[in-house]
Structure 1
């Protein structure tokens, strides 16, 4: 069976625009809230954090290839992670791995993928999906992606907003706007505005109102539209990206990357593109009614492992030796050291060869401050 046949088996009557869809997986960042498990040389997308036996990156690949096809998935990652990414994804073609010489945030990563793909295939529709998210109900996920592709084909930048299940304070929110009359995308809406991470009372109000969705930073758009919108606020960045794209498939790539990449502005795509597009009425949202988590901290992993019950002790690690009595939370270990817990609730224990973290689920978000302190103190050997 050919890759094309595998891709479209069971597709049914999906719109023709899906034929021009290309999935982009930005695989960057170290996941500092998951230190000391996640490190610069082994970021969180290269770990199995769900107990499935697959890394987050491989799970992302597995849910996108049935929609786009193996030959139409691009991964943007750091040079240091090339070997690990290729080992995880043997179906990834060499021309579809884009290496960053240094991290420049999501605008440069996604924008470069868009510029390369538009240069190769004018009119291509791209979708950006982070390498380190956990998603359930793949049928509903696919349905949301297909609707977003249809909306993108009409010239909008589309995002998939997650229907919230609780008043989470670790995510940004999207306020729903008026409905869009786009055939093939019945649930699509305009975005009224983006909202930064709220406090708990505000988040409760958002969820109770039914007017807000979680911002999962999934963006689907024609590549040329993305670059045009980005150029309105960041023209120098787009000029650099287009220059890189023109040289990408030529012998001049290395020299141009060395010359251009260091000078690119470091900015998140939410600020450079999504928020300005929303203000201009050019951003649409498709509600995603499926389970989603960005695995932002160890409390998130504990919830995933316990199925959301919040009362069990989750244990991750092939060699884990844990003895627990009346305890809950999570233990993550890559050693064979015996870990004993007695009468502790919502504990977080992360045991690695050179660092030990002990905190609670309540304070799991504060792990990032430890990483920042280690950087300031120059103790980069454990980062």
Structure 2
């Protein structure tokens, strides 16, 4: 039975000042008609119903989750007392999901990525689910076909095919320097690691028990605790877990890891330049909504709500409207904006 875990606890600091700790990237409308977390949920609804979708987030974001996903059952909001990286988040969520769906197959997804070919994406999840029916101890990850020598992503070195769509993983590698990234791209044997996984809930719990026993021991009573005491147990025990990523904790140690090479139009929307790639532009390269007017100007981007923005005779400018401020930024500086946060605030 397919269930989904969507990890939505990140602070989204790369998009400051639009994204803040109070309302981070996953709860913003950046590239379409919906917020990033709404887009993530909507693309899996054709194969996973809302009652089997779980969101793991911080306590400060629970109301945002409820507001943006009003049909999500309240029990499906898994609240981390504090951020401790992806391994504790996944362990906590796997144990909670197993309370309700003991034979679950978990699809683990970030909450803030873009996938343009959603039909191909859901077909990949279906293929992964079928593979796990015959290979119950396997761990599956999705690897994106690289189209540039990207230094901002981790990579997956893959080996032989095990069927028509799945390959054995040779190793995971960290974010490379430019020379290494170009080497990986030229080899044709590396994929981008997008942090998306499929596995049986029992498998990931067993792997956690084996490789990071402190995490399992801290949280194991989740399986048996009374529902009314569940959050108290999490609050009391979560800080005893190891703060470690799932890649370091499990994926780099397990022997039964496979990858599905995926050409799905994926992007982690990790920078203002990424937003530029996907927002509609006018004939002069400007990005703006109907509440703005751009005259004799080129290559500008306007992010505004209530206030009308008029730009005349300027080029290469990013304008961001907030409740209490308006930022006017040369686009050459826009991906380093958070460096100015302490000065501005």
With normalisation by structure 1, the TM-score equals: 0.81
Uncovered stretches (5+) of structure 1, i.e. residues with no partner: 1-19
Is 2:337 aligned against 1:333? Answer: no
2:17 counterpart (3, 12, 36): 36
Is 2:286 aligned against 1:313? Answer: yes
2:82 counterpart (102, 105, 109): 102
Contact 1:240 1:264 in 2 (8 A): yes
Partner of residue 82, structure 1: 62
1:284 counterpart (258, 272, 276): 258
RMSD: 2.5
Partner of residue 167, structure 1: 149
Distance 1:147 1:311, change over 3 A: farther
Q: Deviations 1:255-291 (Å, cap 9, x if unpaired)? A: 32231122222222122122222xx3x1110011110
Contact 1:32 1:367 in 2 (8 A): no
Which whole-Å CA distance do the structure 1 matches of 2:215 and 2:283 have between them? 44
Alpha-carbon distance, 1:238 to partner: 1.4
Which whole-Å CA distance do the structure 1 matches of 2:296 and 2:208 have between them? 54
Contact 2:219 2:234 in 1 (8 A): no
Which whole-Å CA distance do the structure 1 matches of 2:284 and 2:143 have between them? 29
Is 2:50 aligned against 1:70? Answer: yes
Contact 2:318 2:331 in 1 (8 A): yes
Alpha-carbon distance, 1:245 to partner: 3.9
Alpha-carbon distance, 1:341 to partner: 6.2
Partner of residue 183, structure 2: 205
Partner of residue 145, structure 1: 125
Is 2:35 aligned against 1:55? Answer: yes
Distance 1:335 1:196, change over 3 A: farther
Which whole-Å CA distance do the structure 1 matches of 2:106 and 2:158 have between them? 23
Alignment partner of 1:174: what SS?
Answer: strand
With normalisation by structure 2, the TM-score equals: 0.90
Contact 1:298 1:348 in 2 (8 A): no
Question: Following superposition, which runs of at least 4 residues in structure 1 exceed 6 angstroms of deviation?
Answer: none
Which whole-Å CA distance do the structure 2 matches of 1:322 and 1:263 have between them? 54
Contact 1:24 1:74 in 2 (8 A): yes
Alignment partner of 1:315: what SS?
Answer: coil
The alignment of Structure 1 onto Structure 2 pairs a total of residues equal to 342
Distance 1:48 1:359, change over 3 A: same
Which whole-Å CA distance do the structure 2 matches of 1:145 and 1:310 have between them? 38
Which whole-Å CA distance do the structure 1 matches of 2:250 and 2:307 have between them? 47
Is 2:109 aligned against 1:129? Answer: yes
Q: Which moved more, 1:236-245 or 1:68-77?
A: 236-245
Distance 1:305 1:226, change over 3 A: same
